[in-house]
Structure 1
Amino acid sequence: MVIDILTLFPEMFSPLEYSIIKRARDKDIIKINLYNIRDFTLDKHNRVDDYPYGGGSGMVMMADPIYRAMEHICRDKIKKPRTILMTPGGEKFNQGTAKELAKEEELIFICGHYEGIDERIMTLIDCQVSIGDYVITGGELAAMVVIDSVSRMVPGVLSSKESYEEESFFDGLLEYPQYTRPEIYRDMKVPEVLLSGHHENVNKWRRYQSLKKTYRLRPDLIDYGKLSDKDKKMLLDIENEEQDI
Protein backbone atom coordinates (compact mmCIF):
# COMPACT_ATOMS: atom_id res chain seq x y z
CA MET A 1 0.00 0.00 0.00
CA VAL A 2 1.14 3.52 -0.82
CA ILE A 3 0.09 6.32 1.55
CA ASP A 4 0.54 9.94 0.45
CA ILE A 5 0.16 12.64 3.11
CA LEU A 6 -0.41 16.34 2.42
CA THR A 7 0.51 18.35 5.49
CA LEU A 8 1.94 21.64 6.68
CA PHE A 9 4.05 19.81 9.27
CA PRO A 10 5.76 16.70 7.80
CA GLU A 11 8.02 16.44 10.85
CA MET A 12 5.02 15.52 12.99
CA PHE A 13 4.87 12.11 11.30
CA SER A 14 8.11 10.83 12.83
CA PRO A 15 6.18 8.25 14.97
CA LEU A 16 5.52 6.36 11.72
CA GLU A 17 9.26 5.66 11.59
CA TYR A 18 9.05 3.26 14.54
CA SER A 19 7.63 -0.09 15.62
CA ILE A 20 5.26 -2.10 13.39
CA ILE A 21 4.88 0.62 10.76
CA LYS A 22 8.66 0.95 10.42
CA ARG A 23 9.03 -2.80 9.87
CA ALA A 24 6.29 -2.70 7.24
CA ARG A 25 8.05 0.21 5.51
CA ASP A 26 11.40 -1.59 5.63
CA LYS A 27 9.76 -4.58 3.92
CA ASP A 28 8.13 -2.31 1.30
CA ILE A 29 4.68 -3.50 2.37
CA ILE A 30 3.77 0.08 3.27
CA LYS A 31 5.22 3.11 1.50
CA ILE A 32 4.60 6.53 3.05
CA ASN A 33 5.23 9.74 1.09
CA LEU A 34 5.12 13.09 2.88
CA TYR A 35 4.31 16.26 0.93
CA ASN A 36 4.69 19.69 2.46
CA ILE A 37 1.81 21.80 1.18
CA ARG A 38 3.99 24.90 1.47
CA ASP A 39 6.17 23.54 -1.35
CA PHE A 40 3.29 23.98 -3.76
CA THR A 41 2.39 27.61 -3.14
CA LEU A 42 3.34 30.30 -5.67
CA ASP A 43 3.58 32.91 -2.91
CA LYS A 44 7.19 34.04 -2.35
CA HIS A 45 6.65 33.83 1.41
CA ASN A 46 5.22 30.29 1.13
CA ARG A 47 1.88 31.41 2.52
CA VAL A 48 -0.79 28.75 2.51
CA ASP A 49 -3.56 30.54 4.43
CA ASP A 50 -5.54 33.77 4.29
CA TYR A 51 -8.37 35.60 6.03
CA PRO A 52 -11.87 34.12 5.54
CA TYR A 53 -14.34 35.88 3.26
CA GLY A 54 -17.20 37.26 5.34
CA GLY A 55 -14.95 37.90 8.32
CA GLY A 56 -14.37 35.82 11.41
CA SER A 57 -11.47 34.75 13.58
CA GLY A 58 -8.53 32.68 12.45
CA MET A 59 -7.16 31.83 9.04
CA VAL A 60 -8.30 29.46 6.29
CA MET A 61 -6.03 27.20 4.22
CA MET A 62 -6.03 28.18 0.54
CA ALA A 63 -7.28 25.82 -2.13
CA ASP A 64 -4.53 26.43 -4.71
CA PRO A 65 -1.52 24.85 -2.91
CA ILE A 66 -3.57 21.74 -2.16
CA TYR A 67 -4.75 21.48 -5.77
CA ARG A 68 -1.17 21.83 -6.98
CA ALA A 69 0.04 19.18 -4.53
CA MET A 70 -2.69 16.79 -5.68
CA GLU A 71 -1.83 17.42 -9.34
CA HIS A 72 1.81 16.63 -8.55
CA ILE A 73 0.94 13.36 -6.79
CA CYS A 74 -1.55 12.20 -9.43
CA ARG A 75 0.21 13.38 -12.59
CA ASP A 76 1.39 9.91 -13.67
CA LYS A 77 -1.46 7.86 -12.23
CA ILE A 78 -4.17 6.23 -14.33
CA LYS A 79 -6.70 6.63 -11.51
CA LYS A 80 -6.78 9.14 -8.67
CA PRO A 81 -6.22 7.35 -5.33
CA ARG A 82 -8.93 7.48 -2.72
CA THR A 83 -8.49 10.82 -1.00
CA ILE A 84 -9.36 11.38 2.65
CA LEU A 85 -9.78 14.68 4.45
CA MET A 86 -9.21 14.53 8.19
CA THR A 87 -11.85 16.81 9.66
CA PRO A 88 -14.03 17.00 12.83
CA GLY A 89 -17.12 16.97 10.61
CA GLY A 90 -16.26 13.68 8.93
CA GLU A 91 -17.61 10.18 9.41
CA LYS A 92 -16.46 8.78 12.75
CA PHE A 93 -13.60 6.34 12.21
CA ASN A 94 -14.04 2.74 13.38
CA GLN A 95 -12.70 -0.74 12.70
CA GLY A 96 -15.09 -1.21 9.79
CA THR A 97 -13.67 1.86 8.08
CA ALA A 98 -10.15 0.57 8.72
CA LYS A 99 -10.98 -2.74 7.00
CA GLU A 100 -12.48 -0.91 4.04
CA LEU A 101 -9.54 1.46 3.58
CA ALA A 102 -7.02 -1.40 3.94
CA LYS A 103 -8.35 -2.84 0.66
CA GLU A 104 -7.06 0.17 -1.30
CA GLU A 105 -3.71 0.08 -3.10
CA GLU A 106 -3.10 3.77 -2.45
CA LEU A 107 -4.54 6.40 -0.13
CA ILE A 108 -4.08 10.16 0.04
CA PHE A 109 -4.57 11.97 3.36
CA ILE A 110 -5.10 15.73 3.51
CA CYS A 111 -4.47 17.22 6.94
CA GLY A 112 -6.41 20.36 7.71
CA HIS A 113 -5.14 23.10 9.99
CA TYR A 114 -6.05 26.57 11.30
CA GLU A 115 -9.78 27.35 11.14
CA GLY A 116 -10.41 25.10 8.17
CA ILE A 117 -9.79 24.65 4.44
CA ASP A 118 -11.29 26.49 1.48
CA GLU A 119 -14.46 24.57 0.66
CA ARG A 120 -13.47 24.33 -3.00
CA ILE A 121 -11.05 21.49 -2.25
CA MET A 122 -14.07 19.24 -1.68
CA THR A 123 -14.03 18.37 -5.37
CA LEU A 124 -10.82 16.45 -4.59
CA ILE A 125 -12.18 14.57 -1.58
CA ASP A 126 -13.64 11.05 -1.66
CA CYS A 127 -14.39 10.78 2.05
CA GLN A 128 -14.13 12.84 5.21
CA VAL A 129 -13.01 11.13 8.43
CA SER A 130 -13.05 12.13 12.10
CA ILE A 131 -11.46 10.23 14.99
CA GLY A 132 -13.94 11.57 17.56
CA ASP A 133 -16.17 14.36 18.74
CA TYR A 134 -13.49 16.70 20.01
CA VAL A 135 -11.12 19.30 18.58
CA ILE A 136 -7.36 18.94 18.15
CA THR A 137 -4.84 21.35 16.67
CA GLY A 138 -4.71 19.83 13.19
CA GLY A 139 -5.32 16.76 11.07
CA GLU A 140 -1.83 15.33 11.51
CA LEU A 141 -2.46 13.45 14.76
CA ALA A 142 -5.79 12.19 13.46
CA ALA A 143 -4.20 10.99 10.21
CA MET A 144 -1.56 9.05 12.16
CA VAL A 145 -4.25 7.27 14.15
CA VAL A 146 -6.05 6.23 10.96
CA ILE A 147 -2.84 5.26 9.13
CA ASP A 148 -1.68 3.11 12.04
CA SER A 149 -5.04 1.34 12.28
CA VAL A 150 -5.36 0.78 8.53
CA SER A 151 -1.76 -0.37 8.11
CA ARG A 152 -2.26 -3.17 10.64
CA MET A 153 -4.94 -4.63 8.37
CA VAL A 154 -2.69 -4.82 5.31
CA PRO A 155 -1.55 -8.41 4.66
CA GLY A 156 2.01 -9.03 5.82
CA VAL A 157 2.25 -6.08 8.20
CA LEU A 158 1.58 -8.19 11.31
CA SER A 159 3.33 -11.48 11.94
CA SER A 160 0.17 -13.57 11.96
CA LYS A 161 -3.51 -13.32 11.09
CA GLU A 162 -4.49 -13.89 14.70
CA SER A 163 -2.59 -10.78 15.76
CA TYR A 164 -5.41 -8.51 14.62
CA GLU A 165 -8.38 -10.87 14.35
CA GLU A 166 -8.48 -11.31 18.13
CA GLU A 167 -7.87 -7.67 19.01
CA SER A 168 -10.47 -5.29 20.41
CA PHE A 169 -13.10 -4.15 17.92
CA PHE A 170 -12.10 -6.57 15.13
CA ASP A 171 -15.31 -8.56 15.55
CA GLY A 172 -17.18 -5.73 17.25
CA LEU A 173 -16.26 -6.74 20.81
CA LEU A 174 -13.55 -5.73 23.26
CA GLU A 175 -10.60 -8.07 23.68
CA TYR A 176 -10.54 -10.63 26.49
CA PRO A 177 -8.10 -10.17 29.45
CA GLN A 178 -4.48 -11.20 28.87
CA TYR A 179 -1.91 -12.60 31.31
CA THR A 180 1.79 -13.52 31.25
CA ARG A 181 4.47 -14.72 33.70
CA PRO A 182 4.67 -14.97 36.66
CA GLU A 183 1.72 -17.23 37.42
CA ILE A 184 1.16 -15.49 40.76
CA TYR A 185 1.95 -11.80 41.27
CA ARG A 186 1.22 -10.06 44.60
CA ASP A 187 -1.34 -12.74 45.45
CA MET A 188 -3.07 -12.27 42.09
CA LYS A 189 -3.26 -15.56 40.21
CA VAL A 190 -3.68 -16.30 36.52
CA PRO A 191 -7.09 -17.98 35.88
CA GLU A 192 -6.75 -21.77 36.07
CA VAL A 193 -8.34 -22.32 32.67
CA LEU A 194 -5.42 -20.55 30.96
CA LEU A 195 -3.00 -22.99 32.58
CA SER A 196 -5.03 -26.09 31.72
CA GLY A 197 -3.77 -26.59 28.17
CA HIS A 198 -7.38 -27.33 27.11
CA HIS A 199 -7.75 -25.15 24.02
CA GLU A 200 -11.52 -25.51 23.69
CA ASN A 201 -12.06 -24.39 27.28
CA VAL A 202 -9.56 -21.54 26.84
CA ASN A 203 -11.38 -20.30 23.72
CA LYS A 204 -14.75 -20.57 25.49
CA TRP A 205 -13.39 -18.61 28.50
CA ARG A 206 -11.93 -15.93 26.24
CA ARG A 207 -15.19 -15.49 24.35
CA TYR A 208 -17.11 -15.23 27.61
CA GLN A 209 -14.68 -12.66 29.00
CA SER A 210 -14.79 -10.68 25.76
CA LEU A 211 -18.58 -10.52 25.92
CA LYS A 212 -18.45 -9.68 29.63
CA LYS A 213 -15.94 -6.87 29.18
CA THR A 214 -17.93 -5.39 26.31
CA TYR A 215 -21.19 -5.68 28.26
CA ARG A 216 -19.65 -3.83 31.19
CA LEU A 217 -17.65 -1.14 29.41
CA ARG A 218 -19.11 -0.69 25.91
CA PRO A 219 -22.60 -2.27 25.68
CA ASP A 220 -23.27 -0.04 22.68
CA LEU A 221 -20.88 -2.21 20.65
CA ILE A 222 -22.91 -5.39 21.04
CA ASP A 223 -24.82 -6.22 17.86
CA TYR A 224 -27.25 -8.93 18.97
CA GLY A 225 -28.08 -9.76 15.36
CA LYS A 226 -24.49 -10.91 14.77
CA LEU A 227 -24.18 -13.03 17.91
CA SER A 228 -24.31 -16.81 17.71
CA ASP A 229 -26.73 -18.81 19.85
CA LYS A 230 -23.79 -19.70 22.13
CA ASP A 231 -22.90 -16.01 22.43
CA LYS A 232 -26.48 -15.13 23.35
CA LYS A 233 -26.56 -17.80 26.04
CA MET A 234 -23.25 -16.52 27.43
CA LEU A 235 -24.57 -12.98 27.39
CA LEU A 236 -27.69 -14.05 29.27
CA ASP A 237 -25.49 -15.69 31.91
CA ILE A 238 -23.42 -12.49 32.10
CA GLU A 239 -26.54 -10.33 32.52
CA ASN A 240 -27.76 -12.60 35.34
CA GLU A 241 -24.32 -12.53 36.93
CA GLU A 242 -24.19 -8.74 36.84
CA GLN A 243 -27.65 -8.47 38.41
CA ASP A 244 -26.53 -10.66 41.30
CA ILE A 245 -23.53 -8.44 42.11
Structure 2
Amino acid sequence: MRTPVIAGNWKMYKTVNEALEYFTSFREKGEAEGVETVLCAPFVALPALVEAAKGSRIGIGAQNMHWEEEGAFTGEVGPSMLNAVGVPYVVIGHSERRTYFAETDEAVNKKTQSAISHDLVPIVCVGETLEEKEADRTQEVVREQVVKALAGLSSDEVTQVVLAYEPVWAIGSGKSATAEDAEEVIRFVRKTVADQYDQQVANDIRILYGGSVKPGNIDSFLEQPDIDGALVGGASLDADSFARLVEAAAKRGGEG
Protein backbone atom coordinates (compact mmCIF):
# COMPACT_ATOMS: atom_id res chain seq x y z
CA MET A 1 0.00 0.00 0.00
CA ARG A 2 1.47 3.34 -1.07
CA THR A 3 1.17 6.07 1.55
CA PRO A 4 -0.75 9.00 0.03
CA VAL A 5 0.92 12.40 -0.20
CA ILE A 6 -0.85 15.75 0.02
CA ALA A 7 1.61 18.52 -0.82
CA GLY A 8 0.72 22.21 -0.80
CA ASN A 9 2.61 24.54 -3.12
CA TRP A 10 2.28 28.11 -1.89
CA LYS A 11 4.12 29.54 -4.90
CA MET A 12 5.07 33.21 -4.31
CA TYR A 13 2.67 33.81 -1.45
CA LYS A 14 3.03 34.36 2.32
CA THR A 15 5.62 36.32 4.25
CA VAL A 16 7.42 34.59 7.12
CA ASN A 17 4.89 35.89 9.64
CA GLU A 18 1.97 34.86 7.45
CA ALA A 19 3.51 31.41 7.01
CA LEU A 20 3.83 30.94 10.76
CA GLU A 21 0.28 32.12 11.40
CA TYR A 22 -0.93 29.64 8.79
CA PHE A 23 1.09 26.81 10.32
CA THR A 24 -0.27 27.43 13.80
CA SER A 25 -3.82 27.26 12.45
CA PHE A 26 -3.16 24.33 10.17
CA ARG A 27 -1.38 22.17 12.74
CA GLU A 28 -4.44 22.16 14.98
CA LYS A 29 -6.52 20.45 12.31
CA GLY A 30 -4.14 19.22 9.62
CA GLU A 31 -2.05 16.58 11.37
CA ALA A 32 -3.18 13.11 10.42
CA GLU A 33 -1.90 9.55 10.37
CA GLY A 34 -1.81 7.52 7.19
CA VAL A 35 -0.82 10.42 4.93
CA GLU A 36 2.36 12.36 4.18
CA THR A 37 1.58 16.05 4.49
CA VAL A 38 3.98 18.56 2.93
CA LEU A 39 3.97 22.37 2.82
CA CYS A 40 6.19 23.79 0.06
CA ALA A 41 6.93 27.42 0.90
CA PRO A 42 9.07 30.28 -0.41
CA PHE A 43 12.74 30.01 0.54
CA VAL A 44 12.63 32.83 3.10
CA ALA A 45 9.99 31.02 5.18
CA LEU A 46 11.66 27.60 5.22
CA PRO A 47 13.84 27.95 8.37
CA ALA A 48 10.94 29.25 10.47
CA LEU A 49 8.58 26.56 9.18
CA VAL A 50 11.07 23.75 9.77
CA GLU A 51 11.44 24.93 13.37
CA ALA A 52 7.67 25.23 13.81
CA ALA A 53 7.11 21.76 12.35
CA LYS A 54 9.44 19.95 14.76
CA GLY A 55 7.59 17.19 16.55
CA SER A 56 4.71 17.29 14.06
CA ARG A 57 3.71 15.01 11.20
CA ILE A 58 4.01 17.88 8.72
CA GLY A 59 6.93 17.98 6.30
CA ILE A 60 8.34 21.16 4.82
CA GLY A 61 9.48 21.49 1.21
CA ALA A 62 11.21 23.96 -1.07
CA GLN A 63 9.73 24.90 -4.44
CA ASN A 64 12.95 24.72 -6.44
CA MET A 65 16.71 24.28 -6.13
CA HIS A 66 19.86 24.38 -8.23
CA TRP A 67 21.56 21.10 -9.05
CA GLU A 68 25.06 22.32 -8.10
CA GLU A 69 26.34 22.08 -4.54
CA GLU A 70 27.51 25.69 -4.61
CA GLY A 71 28.96 28.19 -7.06
CA ALA A 72 28.61 31.49 -8.84
CA PHE A 73 24.87 31.18 -9.49
CA THR A 74 23.44 34.46 -8.27
CA GLY A 75 19.97 34.14 -6.81
CA GLU A 76 20.00 30.34 -6.63
CA VAL A 77 19.75 27.98 -3.66
CA GLY A 78 21.70 24.72 -3.62
CA PRO A 79 20.76 21.32 -2.19
CA SER A 80 23.22 21.53 0.71
CA MET A 81 21.56 24.78 1.77
CA LEU A 82 18.25 22.95 1.97
CA ASN A 83 19.93 20.16 3.92
CA ALA A 84 21.33 22.69 6.37
CA VAL A 85 17.89 24.21 6.95
CA GLY A 86 16.42 20.75 7.50
CA VAL A 87 14.06 20.67 4.52
CA PRO A 88 13.26 17.09 3.40
CA TYR A 89 11.28 17.80 0.20
CA VAL A 90 11.74 19.87 -2.94
CA VAL A 91 9.44 20.50 -5.92
CA ILE A 92 11.24 20.12 -9.24
CA GLY A 93 10.13 20.98 -12.76
CA HIS A 94 6.87 22.75 -11.96
CA SER A 95 5.27 24.03 -15.16
CA GLU A 96 5.71 27.62 -14.00
CA ARG A 97 9.46 26.98 -13.75
CA ARG A 98 9.44 25.41 -17.20
CA THR A 99 7.28 28.16 -18.74
CA TYR A 100 8.53 31.37 -17.10
CA PHE A 101 12.14 30.43 -16.36
CA ALA A 102 12.95 28.26 -19.39
CA GLU A 103 13.61 25.16 -17.31
CA THR A 104 14.38 22.21 -19.58
CA ASP A 105 13.93 18.47 -19.18
CA GLU A 106 17.70 18.23 -18.85
CA ALA A 107 17.71 20.73 -15.97
CA VAL A 108 14.90 18.80 -14.30
CA ASN A 109 16.97 15.63 -14.56
CA LYS A 110 20.06 17.28 -13.06
CA LYS A 111 17.99 18.65 -10.18
CA THR A 112 16.32 15.30 -9.58
CA GLN A 113 19.63 13.46 -9.47
CA SER A 114 21.10 16.13 -7.19
CA ALA A 115 18.11 16.00 -4.83
CA ILE A 116 18.38 12.23 -4.49
CA SER A 117 22.13 12.40 -3.86
CA HIS A 118 21.48 14.94 -1.09
CA ASP A 119 18.78 12.81 0.58
CA LEU A 120 15.98 15.12 -0.49
CA VAL A 121 12.64 13.80 -1.73
CA PRO A 122 12.02 15.34 -5.17
CA ILE A 123 8.42 15.99 -6.17
CA VAL A 124 8.90 16.01 -9.93
CA CYS A 125 6.18 17.63 -12.05
CA VAL A 126 5.16 16.60 -15.55
CA GLY A 127 2.22 17.64 -17.71
CA GLU A 128 1.03 18.83 -21.09
CA THR A 129 -0.11 22.26 -22.26
CA LEU A 130 -3.56 22.94 -23.68
CA GLU A 131 -2.12 23.02 -27.20
CA GLU A 132 -0.46 19.65 -26.69
CA LYS A 133 -3.64 18.19 -25.24
CA GLU A 134 -5.73 19.42 -28.17
CA ALA A 135 -3.19 17.92 -30.57
CA ASP A 136 -3.61 14.53 -28.83
CA ARG A 137 0.02 14.60 -27.70
CA THR A 138 -0.57 14.14 -23.95
CA GLN A 139 0.99 10.69 -23.71
CA GLU A 140 3.90 11.58 -25.98
CA VAL A 141 4.74 14.72 -23.99
CA VAL A 142 4.29 13.16 -20.57
CA ARG A 143 6.31 10.07 -21.47
CA GLU A 144 9.23 12.17 -22.68
CA GLN A 145 9.17 14.29 -19.53
CA VAL A 146 9.08 11.24 -17.26
CA VAL A 147 11.82 9.37 -19.08
CA LYS A 148 14.13 12.39 -19.18
CA ALA A 149 13.44 13.35 -15.55
CA LEU A 150 14.39 9.88 -14.28
CA ALA A 151 17.32 9.25 -16.64
CA GLY A 152 20.39 7.93 -14.85
CA LEU A 153 18.60 6.95 -11.66
CA SER A 154 18.74 3.42 -10.27
CA SER A 155 15.60 1.48 -9.44
CA ASP A 156 16.05 2.21 -5.73
CA GLU A 157 16.51 5.90 -6.44
CA VAL A 158 13.40 6.08 -8.62
CA THR A 159 11.23 4.74 -5.81
CA GLN A 160 12.38 7.71 -3.69
CA VAL A 161 10.94 10.13 -6.25
CA VAL A 162 7.37 11.40 -6.05
CA LEU A 163 5.94 12.18 -9.49
CA ALA A 164 3.17 14.74 -9.94
CA TYR A 165 1.05 14.85 -13.08
CA GLU A 166 -0.10 18.44 -13.49
CA PRO A 167 -1.76 19.27 -16.80
CA VAL A 168 -0.59 22.81 -17.46
CA TRP A 169 -4.02 23.87 -18.69
CA ALA A 170 -5.54 23.00 -15.29
CA ILE A 171 -3.12 24.87 -13.05
CA GLY A 172 -4.67 27.96 -11.52
CA SER A 173 -7.42 27.92 -14.14
CA GLY A 174 -10.23 26.59 -12.01
CA LYS A 175 -10.42 23.71 -14.50
CA SER A 176 -9.34 20.23 -13.56
CA ALA A 177 -9.07 17.00 -15.45
CA THR A 178 -11.84 14.59 -14.60
CA ALA A 179 -10.76 11.94 -12.13
CA GLU A 180 -11.05 9.34 -14.88
CA ASP A 181 -8.89 11.37 -17.29
CA ALA A 182 -6.28 11.96 -14.59
CA GLU A 183 -6.28 8.26 -13.74
CA GLU A 184 -5.75 7.35 -17.40
CA VAL A 185 -2.67 9.58 -17.69
CA ILE A 186 -1.26 8.56 -14.32
CA ARG A 187 -1.74 4.90 -15.17
CA PHE A 188 0.20 5.63 -18.36
CA VAL A 189 2.95 7.31 -16.29
CA ARG A 190 3.15 4.20 -14.12
CA LYS A 191 3.41 2.04 -17.25
CA THR A 192 6.20 4.30 -18.51
CA VAL A 193 8.11 3.73 -15.28
CA ALA A 194 7.54 -0.02 -15.63
CA ASP A 195 8.88 0.06 -19.19
CA GLN A 196 11.99 1.95 -18.08
CA TYR A 197 12.62 -0.09 -14.93
CA ASP A 198 10.26 -2.90 -13.90
CA GLN A 199 6.76 -3.46 -12.61
CA GLN A 200 7.80 -3.49 -8.96
CA VAL A 201 9.35 -0.03 -9.25
CA ALA A 202 6.19 1.17 -11.00
CA ASN A 203 4.07 -0.31 -8.22
CA ASP A 204 6.15 1.40 -5.54
CA ILE A 205 6.52 4.91 -6.94
CA ARG A 206 3.94 7.44 -5.80
CA ILE A 207 2.22 9.58 -8.42
CA LEU A 208 0.12 12.61 -7.52
CA TYR A 209 -2.42 14.65 -9.45
CA GLY A 210 -2.27 18.44 -9.47
CA GLY A 211 -4.40 21.08 -11.12
CA SER A 212 -7.24 22.92 -9.38
CA VAL A 213 -7.60 20.26 -6.69
CA LYS A 214 -9.98 21.39 -3.94
CA PRO A 215 -12.05 19.88 -1.13
CA GLY A 216 -15.01 19.47 -3.47
CA ASN A 217 -13.20 17.17 -5.90
CA ILE A 218 -10.39 15.52 -3.90
CA ASP A 219 -12.35 12.35 -3.13
CA SER A 220 -12.96 11.62 -6.81
CA PHE A 221 -9.21 11.68 -7.45
CA LEU A 222 -8.26 9.66 -4.39
CA GLU A 223 -10.74 6.94 -5.36
CA GLN A 224 -8.63 6.17 -8.45
CA PRO A 225 -6.27 3.21 -7.94
CA ASP A 226 -3.19 4.84 -9.48
CA ILE A 227 -3.53 8.33 -7.91
CA ASP A 228 -1.57 8.56 -4.66
CA GLY A 229 -2.51 12.07 -3.55
CA ALA A 230 -2.31 15.62 -4.80
CA LEU A 231 0.02 18.54 -5.37
CA VAL A 232 -2.19 21.48 -4.47
CA GLY A 233 -1.83 25.15 -5.39
CA GLY A 234 -4.58 27.63 -4.60
CA ALA A 235 -6.46 25.43 -2.16
CA SER A 236 -3.32 25.04 -0.04
CA LEU A 237 -3.20 28.77 0.75
CA ASP A 238 -6.12 28.47 3.15
CA ALA A 239 -5.40 26.36 6.25
CA ASP A 240 -8.98 25.07 6.60
CA SER A 241 -9.20 24.09 2.95
CA PHE A 242 -5.85 22.32 2.96
CA ALA A 243 -6.69 20.50 6.21
CA ARG A 244 -9.81 19.09 4.55
CA LEU A 245 -7.67 17.69 1.73
CA VAL A 246 -5.33 16.04 4.23
CA GLU A 247 -8.30 14.62 6.12
CA ALA A 248 -9.68 13.11 2.91
CA ALA A 249 -6.34 11.48 2.08
CA ALA A 250 -5.90 10.20 5.64
CA LYS A 251 -9.29 8.54 5.40
CA ARG A 252 -8.36 6.86 2.13
CA GLY A 253 -4.98 5.81 3.55
CA GLY A 254 -6.64 4.40 6.63
CA GLU A 255 -8.97 2.30 4.49
CA GLY A 256 -5.90 0.62 2.99
Pairwise TM-score range, normalised by the shorter structure: under 0.3
Report which of the two has the higher share of helix. 2
TM-score, normalised by the number of residues in structure 1: 0.27
| TM-score, normalised with respect to structure 2 | 0.26
Relative contact order: is structure 1 or structure 2 higher (C-alpha 8 Å, sep ≥ 6)?
2
